[in-house]
Amino acid sequence: MPRLHFLKENLAASATAAMTLLPYGGSDYYAQRAGRVRSLTALLTEARTGGSLTVKVTKNGAAQTALNLTIDGSATQFDEAFGDRDDLTFAAGDRLGVQAVTSGFGPTTSDAVAVLDLDEGV
């Protein structure tokens, strides 16, 4: 069960950007076997003071609608989303990543960390 870590430093006030896969660099993980996304977790190094950050899972370069989470007025520094068995599945060779979407976000000195938990070979 891979646990992938992604980073986006100094979030822009309003932007859509791929997060960097750690420690390898780049923005995508290539699935070795078919599986599913179990959960997505995001946290900020500094609490949100305005706007919102939406964290989205990407598959083969396209943002997915399952397992998105938002850090806003109700969750200011941490949020997590858990998937059911069929919410977000992938095939061997699919590229998985995480995207940060900000709108009026502050502070722009905050970094975002996202953790993607996968079940491969299920």
Rounded distance between C-alpha atoms, residue 100 and residue 103, angstroms: 10
pLDDT at 5: 97
Domain boundaries, the chain: 3-120
For residue range 95-109, list pLDDT tens digits in order: 999 999 999 999 999
Q: What is the pLDDT of residues 85-98, one digit of tens each?
A: 778 999 999 999 99
Q: What is the pTM of this model?
A: 0.93
pLDDT value for 87: 87
Letter for the amino acid at 57?
V
How confident is the model at residue 21, as a pLDDT?
97
Which regions of the chain are under pLDDT 50?
none
- Joined together, the tokens standing for residue 49 give 């003071």
pLDDT for 85:
74
Print burial letters for 9-43: b (CB count within 10 Å at least 16), e (below 16): eebeeeeeebbbbeeeeebbbebeeebbbbebbbb
In the CATH hierarchy, which top-level class contains the domain 3-120?
mainly beta
> By three-state DSSP, how is residue 54 classified?
strand
**Cα–Cα distance, 98 to 104 (Å, whole number):** 20
